[in-house]
Amino acid sequence: MTPAEEPVITPADLAGGGVRGDDPDAHGKFGRFGGRYVPEALIPALDEVAAEYEKAKTDLGFIREFDHLLRTYAGRPTTLTEVPRFAAHAGGARILLKREDLTHTGAHKINNVLGQALLTKRLGKRRVIAETGAGQHGVATATAAALMGLECVIYMGAVDCERQALNVARMKLLGATVVPVTNGSQTLKDAINEAFRDWVTNVDHTHYLFGTVAGPHPFPEIVRDFARIIGVEARRQVLELTGRLPDAVCAAVGGGSNAIGVFHAFMEDRDVKLYGYEAGGRGLETGEHALTLTEGSVGVLHGSRTYVLQDEEGQTIESHSISAGLDYPGVGPEHAWLKDTGRAVYEGVTDAEAMEAFALLARTEGIIPAIESSHALAGALRLGRELGPEAVILVNLSGRGDKDMGTAMNYFNL
Amino acid sequence: MTTLQAVFDKARAEDRAALVGYLPAGFPTKDGAVAAATAMVEAGCDVIEIGLPYSDPLMDGPTIQDAVHRSLINGTRIADVMRTVEGVAKSGAATLVMTYWNPIDRYGVERFARDLANAGGVGTITPDLTPEESEPWLAASKEAGIDTVFLVAPSSPDERIVRVAACCTGFVYAASLMGVTGARETVGAAAEGLVKRTRAHTGLPVCVGLGVGNGAQAAEVAAYADGVIVGSAFIRRLLDAPDEKSGLAAVRELASELARGVRR
């Protein structure tokens, strides 16, 4: 076997091979978080998805097909890049980037999407729907739908359609129908509401290709498992490059799929600290942020018990972030659980800090990151200064910044 | 206070189905909601569901979304919902609150159940609370002496119907179709079968909602169900009315038409 033919994923990588002690229980609970809070009409569909995934994840044929797509279509394994000129601004700590920005479609979302698109075919469904914030999940879903001949409808907040216009065009070119959602805050949370309304109406022939580790069981588990390859590869690559495990793993957290994806393979490595960076927006004091884990409270949103930005009567508070992909007032239940158990630490990064890191990586390393990922980069800069020059920090560079050029042009007056 | 049991006993004695009307609190205004619901009762509604406006109503169609959005802009809070229940209960109808789960969860389950009972409410309908997560709410409701209504859907297999019905007191809410709330041209063809399947597993009354909007549809549903639930069609009348007075008249007219329907 040549290196290019080596599988990137094994059954153990996907499903943990029974070695993980952290799967949700039968009701999809991570501790007190997760579960299902959805209309009864959707329960049979969720049960069907869960049952099919249980079969698929140990089916060698399914894993081979998924592996084949990851290698020959998504471009896995993605490389690990050390960024010394960037790291010079982080107290000299070694910073290693997991390059999910180099995947086909330009973000980590493709991993989950290919897995779920294969699952859609196994379910015998011919139509997929999805929500999208930054448009990356929408583009990835439209891509997989084109590849597999599935009908595709993407729900996207009207505000997000505007700030991510390039991705709207990409989705249309790929043959998807993009529906701008004009109610509520016109962002990701409202796109999810609208996708659920579609799903309950068309569930007999439609799969809701959920884009993050939130939502009702089994989505948090399925999306995590399909994103898990990020950390599995990165762990091997860091060991190869440095001869040891990293001191810390950094990732941006909106719904939380890229973060769970990179964290998960390190869960048992107790000396590896896990850091999730949420969008601090214009700053905590302005109230315009998406600090769900750090400032939110426990509630139910989009079918799952988790941390939520809400008022004292349970009404969702609108979030804000310069990055559409982090502009979400909820978060995946496993992150809520990791916060409560202390296994992961969550902090905020403001719009300004993220944009500074965005520009810094471009100028020092010739890599233009997504603004979402720039939150993790800003966190790594902060963390590097704390941990000192001996530290090794792995950052999940979850996506590339092409889609963010409009925002960058406005922000930096380019 | 009129209980759900009294409502269904009376309807059965009259050999008809009960008529259940829905309106969100705070719509068209806080007082306007009480006035509209009272008009609905005077014109023949036996039961009123007062909707608790929520920011993310993911099983509601455009009409109820619109009304709920206006209500939230009007500043409707849970205290207003309780006051609305109190006002409507005075009309003599059995008055329920229909709400997504998070507002109750956040307000506190015991506190919500107690406050609702004190306001004269007879129970709740909780469309996104699954039996798996219902334990605390069932206990609090029982303690406060209020009914708990859950939904079954055309997609529900028999074992789920058993599970859901076991959580219900008062009645079981059968969703007539797979979809969100809103009036439709025809009532879902699956509704009658679902009512039959539900009856096989429970002695509770079974009411049908989603997509019922006129007298003929009410009559059609009343032929096989214990109750007919109408929401969006009432809201539509209020949204389309040029002023509050004509809105009330339109709501009253629709309630009369539906009341004749359930008696056909």
Each residue's pLDDT tens digit in chain A (414 positions)? 444 567 777 777 775 543 344 678 888 899 999 999 999 999 999 999 999 999 999 899 999 999 999 999 999 999 999 999 999 999 999 999 999 999 999 999 999 999 999 999 999 999 999 999 889 999 999 999 999 999 999 999 998 898 788 899 999 999 999 999 998 778 889 999 999 999 999 999 999 999 999 999 999 999 999 999 999 999 999 999 999 999 999 999 999 999 999 999 999 999 999 999 999 999 999 999 999 999 999 999 999 999 999 999 999 999 999 998 999 999 999 999 999 999 999 999 999 999 999 999 999 999 999 999 999 999 999 999 999 999 999 999 999 999 999 999 999 999
Identify all chain B residues contacting A37, using CB atoms and an 8 Å cutoff.
101-102, 128-130, 133
The yes/no answer on whether domain A37-73+109-224 falls in CATH 3.30.390.30 is: no
- pLDDT tens by residue, A348-379: 999 999 999 999 999 999 999 999 999 999 99
**Residues of A known to be catalytic:** 109, 131, 398
Amino acid at B162: V
The helix/strand count (H/E) of chain A reads as: 17, 14
Which chain B residue's Cα is nearest to A306?
B102
Test mutation, A36, A315, A317, chain B, max B CBs within 10 A? A315
- The answer to whether the beta carbons of residues A92 and A84 sit under 8 Å apart is no
Contact assignment for A203 to B160 by CB distance below 8 Å: no
* Structural domain count, chain B: 1
Supply A357's token pair: 């890191």
Say if residue A77 is preceded by a cis peptide, omega within 30 of 0. yes
* The pLDDT value given to residue B185: 85
What is the complex's ipTM, to 2 decimals?
0.96
Q: Are B214 and B176 in contact (CB under 8 A)?
A: no
Of A183, A305, A315, the CB nearest to B54: A315
Q: Token pair for residue B66?
A: 């619109």
Rounded to the nearest angstrom, the minimum Cα separation between B139 and chain A is 18
Of A163, A166, A109, A154, the residue nearest A136 (C-alpha): A109
One-letter amino acid at A5 equals E
Tell me yes or no: is domain A80-106+228-412 CATH 3.40.50.1010: no
- Tens of pLDDT along chain B (264 residues) come to 789 999 999 999 999 999 999 999 999 999 999 999 999 999 999 999 999 999 999 999 999 999 999 999 999 999 999 999 999 999 999 999 999 999 999 999 999 999 999 999 999 999 999 999 999 999 999 999 999 999 999 999 999 999 999 999 999 999 999 999 988 888 888 999 999 999 999 999 999 999 999 999 999 999 999 999 999 999 999 999 999 999 999 999 999 999 999 998
Nearest residue of chain A to residue B151 (CA atoms): A40
**Residue B18 is part of a domain; what is its CATH number?**
3.20.20.70
Residues A45, A206 contacting (CB under 8 angstroms): no
A189 contacts B160? CB cut-off 8 A: no
- Contact A167/A403 with Cβ under 8 angstroms? yes
Q: Nearest-CA distance from A369 to chain B in Å? A: 32
Tokens matching residue B213: 């909007």
Residue of chain A whose Cα is closest to the Cα of B59: A197
Domain limits, chain A? 37-73+109-224, 80-106+228-412
Q: Report which residue type is found at A348.
A: G
Same fold, A37-73+109-224 and A80-106+228-412: yes
Provide, as residue numbers in chain B, all residues whose Cβ is less than 8 Å from the Cβ of A200. 59, 178-180
Rounded to 10 deg, the angle between the A43-56 and A109-122 helix axes is 100
For chain A, report the end-to-end CA distance as a whole number of angstroms.
Answer: 48
What pLDDT score was predicted for residue A162?
Answer: 87
Distance CA A314, CA A308 (A): 9
Secondary structure (3-state) at B172: strand
Instruction: Spell out the residues 6+ positions from residue A353 whose beta carbon is closer than 8 angstroms to its own.
Output: A280, A375, A378
By a Cβ cutoff of 8 Å, what residues of chain A touch chain B? 27, 35-45, 183-184, 189-190, 192-193, 196-197, 200-204, 297, 299-303, 305, 308, 310, 312-316
On whether the CB atoms of residues B217 and B2 are closer than 8 A, the answer is no
Domain region containing B221: 4-263
- Percent of chain B past pLDDT 70, that is, above it, reads 100
**Dihedral sign (CA A17, A19, A23, A27):** positive
Please answer yes or no on whether A302 and B154 come within 8 Å at the CB atom: no
Chain position carrying tokens 């329907």:
B261
Residue A185 confidence (pLDDT): 79
Token pair recorded at residue A70: 């990851």
Q: Is B130 close to A45, i.e. CB distance below 8 A?
A: no
Residues of A in contact with B150 (CB under 8 A): 40
3-state SS class at B155: coil
pLDDT tens profile A294-322: 999 999 999 999 999 999 999 999 999 99
Q: Which of A41, A189, A301 sits opposite B178 (nearest CB)?
A: A41
The residue from B60, B80, B115, B220 that is catalytic is: B60
Q: Report which DSSP code applies to A319.
A: P
